[in-house]
Amino acid sequence: MKKLLAAAAMTALLGLTACGSGSLSDSEETEASGAAAEGTTAIEVGVIPIVDVAPIYLGVEEGLFEDEGLDVTLTLAQGGAAIVPAVTSGQMDFGFSNITSMIVGRSKGLPVHMVAAGPSSTGNTEEDFAAVMTMPESGIKTTADLAGKKIGVNTLNNISDSTISEAVKEAGGDYESIEFVEIPFPELAGQLAAGTVDAIAAVEPFVTIAEAEGAVPVFSNYAEPVDDLTVAVYFASDQYAQENPEIVEKFVRAIKASQEFAEQNPDKIRAILPTYTSLKPEVIEQLTLPKYGTEVNRASVEEVAQISLDRGLVEEIPSMDELLPAN
């Protein structure tokens, strides 16, 4: 059964998540509603085909953006590396990306500004939508055991490797001895099974896929070492936010309503996933969903910024007031 599930799951090759790279594809563009109706404002939002963004799809379907007078086009990309320049250049109005990418981007002078929360960790170290995983015979039982090991991550110098190294450090392990290897999410389970790496950092649906291949979790690097971690956010450029404050306010209200609705209706989240991913029903029903909060946890962003500084991802921590939502 596990092998059958893994085979079905691997047809879901969703590409990379918010911390990944990739390009926009015209063929992947999805218009959530038709031409903008009279009296509404058309906006384009760059998203990624993963579980994290299910609330915005659900919000569009439920009319929560229409209630705010917004006609939303959701454009799929493989990762934040394509979305960030599209937003900062004005090609898109809003985008989705993880907080480390936002911190690094802002530190490099990119005019990115978080406007609303995306997914957060469940806070449950044993049941989260992200997990560091290994094979049962690896001998890796604890976080500290990851010291000196080779770990597959989807993108180097980003949220996965920095949080893992911090967790190993806090556990008393030699975090500097870890060798991180960049492997696309869809290939992680296979590389782990083949012995190419000792462990992998996976997020859903790839946690479920890896479990079907026999992998076991060690810990969740989103649930620890940072408490109540806001993993990803929706963002705009400084210029767009300054020139369109009313649209931003409407977007934020709609996103918050969507996140709250999603948190209260997990069955509807699972039901909407097939509309923008190729996940099979048997995979969807086993997924661990993120927590869909309505506020960005500033303390968690500040802690990730400090970890990013300690690991050399940034030369200095950018202004949190310029980066974080106004309220």
For residue 114, the cross-strand partners are: 235
Give the residue extent of every domain in the chain.
Answer: 8-122+229-323, 130-219
Contacts of residues 277-281 at CB distance under 8 Å and 24 or more positions apart, as own/partner, are 277/12, 277/14, 277/49, 277/50, 277/205, 278/11, 278/12, 278/13, 278/14, 279/9, 279/12, 279/14, 279/205, 280/8, 280/9, 280/11, 280/12
* 128, β-bridge pairs: none
Neighbours of 85 (CB within 10 A): 16
Stated pTM of the model: 0.86
Say how far apart CA 25 and CA 86 lie, in whole Å.
12
Q: Give the pLDDT confidence score for residue 39 in this predicted structure.
A: 79
pLDDT surpasses 70 at 212: yes
Q: What is the dihedral of CA 282, 284, 286, 292, to 10 degrees?
A: -170
pLDDT tens, residue by residue, 50-69? 899 999 999 999 999 999 99
Residue 35 has pLDDT above 80, yes or no: no
Quote the mean pLDDT of the chain: 89
Dihedrals φ, ψ of 170, to 5°?
Answer: -65, -25
Half-sphere CA count of 37, side-chain side, radius 13 A: 9
pLDDT at 268 over 50: yes
Query: Over 164-184, what HEC string results?
Result: HHHHHHHCCCCHHHCEEEECC
Amino acid, single-letter form, for residue 246: E
In Å, how far are 8, 176, 236 from 82, measured between CA atoms?
A: 28, 30, 14
CA atoms within 13 A on the CB side of 80: 26
**DSSP type of residue 54:** H
CATH 3.60.10.10 fits 8-122+229-323, yes or no: no
CATH number belonging to domain 130-219: 3.40.190.10
H-assigned helices in 66-215: 80-88, 99-107, 159-170, 185-194, 206-212
pLDDT at 24: 53
pLDDT tens per residue, range 216-243 = 999 999 999 999 999 999 999 999 999 9
DSSP H/E element including 150: strand 150-153
pLDDT for residue 94 is more than 50 = yes
pLDDT at 278: 87
Say how many C-beta atoms besides its own lie within 10 A of residue 128's C-beta. 27
Distance CA 101, CA 159 (A): 8
8-122+229-323 and 130-219 share one fold: yes
